[in-house]
Structure 1
Amino acid sequence: MGAHRAATTGTREDFDHGRFSKGLARGFAGALLFALPMFLTMEMWELGLYIDRSRLLLLLLVNIPLLILLARRIGFEDVSTWREALRDASIAYLLGVVASAFVLLIIGVLSINQTVPEALGMIAIQAVPASIGALLGRSELGVQDEHSADDTDPVDENQDDGYGGELFMMAVGALFLGLNVAPTEEMILVSFKMSLWHALALVLASILLMHGFVYVLSFVGGHELEEGTPGWHALIRFTCPGYIIALAISLYCLWTFHRLDGLDLTQAIMVTVVLGFPSAIGAAAARLIL
C-alpha cells in the first residue's frame, strides 16, 4: 500500500503542468483551425435547430469512443493507459464545446433570444468536428521541446500501427472531412447533375487518388511498398477497404444530417458517391499526417 501511494505521489509530482497547458492551448487552436469552415457554414447552424435529437445523440455518443481511440495516438500528454486516453478525450470534447460556443457567439449566430434547446443543438453539432480538431491540433501544431529526447514523439511508442490502426485513422480522416461538406446543399446539387458515367469515373478517381497520395506521390508520411511486394497488394489490402470505409462514413453523415430524406435508392447512392470523394481524400490524408 505504501509503495503504491509513493508511486502515485511520484506520478503527480512528475506531471508537467506547463506542457499540459500548452497542449490545451494547441487543442483549442486546433479546434478553431480545423472546424472553422463548419463554424461559418449556414447549413450547420440550421441543422442545430431541426436535426432529429436521436440522430444528434447518436453522433455525440459515436464521437466518444472515436476520441478515446484517437487520444491513444495523439493525446495532449504522453498517453500510456486507457484512463489517460479517456481524460484527453474528455478534455478534447470540452474544448470542442467551448470553441463552438465561443465562435458562434462572437459571429452573432447565437443570441440571448434563442431557446436553450436551439442553442444546445447548434453547439453540440459543431462540437463533434471541433473536438476532433482539438486532438488533431496536438499532432499538427505540436512542437519539439526540452522534454523530447529525440525526433520521435513519445506518444508514438504506445500507438497501434497495425492493420486495424491504419483503418481506424482512415475512418477518422473520412469522418472529419466528410462532416465539413455533408450538410451542404452542393452535395445534393452535384449528385443531380451527374450521370452514371460521372459516378463511375468519380469512384475510380477517388480510389486512384487515395492510392496515389499514400503510395505513389512520395508525400512526407507516405508509405513505401516493401521490396518484392506487388503493387496490387496495397491497393487491395488498404486502399479499397479505405474507400469502402469512406463510403460508409459518407452514408452515415448524410443520414445523420437528413440529406437522404426523400431520396430514392439510386439518388441516395449518387449522393454517397459524391460525398465519398472528399471523404476518401480525408482518409488518405489521415494516413499521411497522423
Structure 2
Amino acid sequence: MPSNSDQRPIVQSLQEYGRGIAGGLLFSFPLLYTMEVWWTGFIASPFQLILVIVFTFGLLLGYNRFAGMHPEASWQDVVVDSVEELGIGFLLSLALLIMLRRVDFHEMSIQEIMGKVVLEAMVISIGVSVGTAQLGMDNTGTSEAGDGKALKKERQAGLASLLVLGLCGSVLIGGNVAPTEEVLVIGVESNPGHILAMALVSLALSVLILFYSDFEGSRTKNYQANFFTIAQQTCVCYLVALSSSALLLWFFGRLDGASLWTGFAQTVTLGVLCSLGTSAGRLIIN
C-alpha cells in the first residue's frame, strides 16, 4: 500500500481540479444562460474563434505567472497549467451546453457547436484558473508559504502584473454583460452628461477600491500612496477597463455598424462594470 506521502500529490491534484471546476462554474453560469452568447457562437467566424483561444491562453499564462497557486513555478509549469485549464474549460463548456440542450449533435452543424463551446470556454477557463489558485487553503509549510507569498508579491509589483490581472478581472466581470442588449440600449439612450457621469463614477470607484477600501491586497501595511501613484494606477486601470470593454463589445458584434458616438457610449457604459473588474477583481483574484 502506498504511503500517505506517495498519495498526497494525487489527492492535492484532485483537490485542485475540484477547485478549478468550482471556479469555472462560478464565473461562467451567467454566460451559459445568455441567448446573445449562443447567437454569437452561431455567427462567429473561424478566425474569431481562433483569436478567442489565443487571447484566453495568453490571459491564462499571465494569470498563472503573476497570481497562480504556485508562485515558484517555472514558465514550463505555467504553460502546462494553462493548457490543462484551457482543456478543462472546453470539457466543462461542452458538458454544460449539452446539459442545457444548447448543443445538439443531430440538429446543429459542427461550426455552430464549436462556436458556442469556444465562447463559453473562454470565461470558464479563466474561472478554472482563478478557482484553482484562490478557493483553497495553503497546505505547504510555514517557511515555504512565506517564500511563496513574498515571490508572488514581488511579481505583482510591476506594471505587467497590473495590466494582466486587471484584464483578467475585467473580462470575468464585464464579459457577463457585454453580449446583452442592455448595454446598447443604455449607450444609445444616454446623453453626454450621462456618459461623463459614468466615466467619473468609474474613476471614483477605482480610486476607492484600490486605495481607500482597505481590501486585502490593495496596499501594504503603513503604505501611503502619493497623488502621482493614485493617478497613475487609476488611469492605467481605467484604460485597461475601457480597452477590454471595447474588445468585448467588438467581439460580440455590438460595434458593427455603430456610429463613433454610439460605440464610444457603449464602451463607457460597459466600462463601469469593467472598471470594477479591473480594480476589485484584480485584488480579489490575486
Instruction: Calculate the TM-score normalised by the size of structure 1.
Output: 0.88
SS in 2 for 1:258: coil
Kindly report which structure 2 residues correspond to 1:22-171, keeping only aligned pairs within 5 A, or say none.
Answer: 22-75=15-68, 77=70, 79-112=72-105, 113-145=107-139, 147-149=140-142, 152=145, 155-159=148-152, 160-164=155-159, 165-171=161-167
Distance 1:75 1:17 in 2: 19
Q: In the alignment, is the contact (CA less than 8 A) between 2:103 and 2:113 conserved in 1?
A: yes
Per-residue Cα deviation, 1:166-217 (whole angstroms, up to 9, x for no partner): 2221111112222111111111011012110000010000000011012112
Q: Say which is worse superposed, 217-226 or 48-57, in terms of deviation.
A: 217-226
The structure 1 segments of at least 4 consecutive aligned residues displaced by more than 6 Å after TM superposition are: none
Q: Within 1, Cα distance between the matches of 2:189 and 2:146?
A: 46
Q: How many Å apart are 1:85 and its aligned residue?
A: 0.2
Q: Which amino acid aligns with 1:28?
A: I
Letter in 1 for 2:126: I
Letter of the structure 2 residue corresponding to residue 174 of structure 1: S
How many corresponding residue pairs? 276
List runs of 5+ in structure 2 lacking aligned partners: 1-5
- Rounded to whole Å, the distance in 2 between the matches of 1:225 and 1:195 is 43
Two-structure CA RMSD over aligned residues (Å): 2.2
CA distance in 2, matches of 1:208, 1:118: 41
Percent identity of equivalent pairs: 27
CA contact (8 A) 2:25 2:124 kept: yes
Do the aligned residues in 2 keep the contact of 1:73 with 1:156 (CA within 8 Å)?
Answer: no
Gaps of 5+ in 1: 1-12
Q: Name the aligned partner's letter for residue 275 of structure 2.
A: A
Contact 1:72 1:79 in 2 (8 A): no
On the 8 A contact 1:173/1:283 being kept in 2, the answer is yes
When residues 77 and 217 of structure 1 are mapped into structure 2, their CA distance, relative to the original with a 3 A threshold, is: closer
Q: Hey, what does 2:170 align to over in structure 1?
A: 174
Shift of 1:63: 1.4
* 1:84 shift after superposition: 0.2
Q: TM-score w.r.t. structure 2 length?
A: 0.89
Find 1:276's aligned residue among 271, 274, 284.
271
**Residues 101 and 199 of structure 1: CA distance in aligned 2, closer, same or farther (over 3 Å):** same
Taking a change above 3 Å as real, the CA distance of residues 150 and 34 of structure 1, as seen in their structure-2 partners, is: farther
